[in-house]
A = this chain, B = another copy of it.
Amino acid sequence: MSTRQHKVATDYRTLQQTICQRLEQADGGAIFTTDHWTKDIGEGYTMVFQEGNAIEKAAVNFSAVSGPVSERIRQALKIDDGQEYFASGISSIIHPRNPHAPITHMNVRYFQLSSGISWFGGGIDLTPHYVDKKEAGWFHRELKTVCDRFNADYYPNFKKWADDYFYLNHRAETRGVGGIFFDHQQAGDDLAFEQLFAFTKDLAQAYPRIYIELLNANRNKAFSEAEKKWQYLRRGRYVEFNLLYDRGTKFGLESNGRTESIFLSMPPMASWAYDYQPEPGSREEETSNLLKKDIGWISF
Q: Which residues of A does B touch, CB under 8 Å? A: 35, 46, 48, 50, 57, 59, 170-171, 232, 236, 239-240, 243-244, 253, 259-260, 262-264, 266-275
Contact = CB atoms under 8 A, between A and B. Distances in A.
A240 to B, nearest CB: 7
Contacts of A272: 263, 266-268, 270
A32 to B, nearest CB: 11
A269 to B, nearest CB: 5
Instruction: In the A-B complex, list the 10 residue pairs whose CB atoms are closest, starting with the nearest.
Output: A266-B272, A243-B243, A269-B271, A260-B275, A170-B259, A48-B274, A170-B253, A243-B244, A270-B270, A268-B271
A299 to B, nearest CB: 32
Given A239-B270, A240-B263, A266-B272, 7 more contacts: A48-B274, A50-B274, A171-B259, A232-B269, A243-B244, A268-B273, A270-B272
A236 to B, nearest CB: 7
A272 B238 CA distance: 13
A271 B46 CA distance: 19
A100 to B, nearest CB: 21
B273 A270 contact: no
A47 to B, nearest CB: 10
Contacts of A50: 273-274
16 contacts: A50-B274, A59-B274, A170-B253, A239-B239, A239-B243, A240-B243, A240-B263, A260-B275, A263-B272, A266-B272, A268-B271, A268-B272, A269-B269, A269-B271, A270-B270, A270-B271
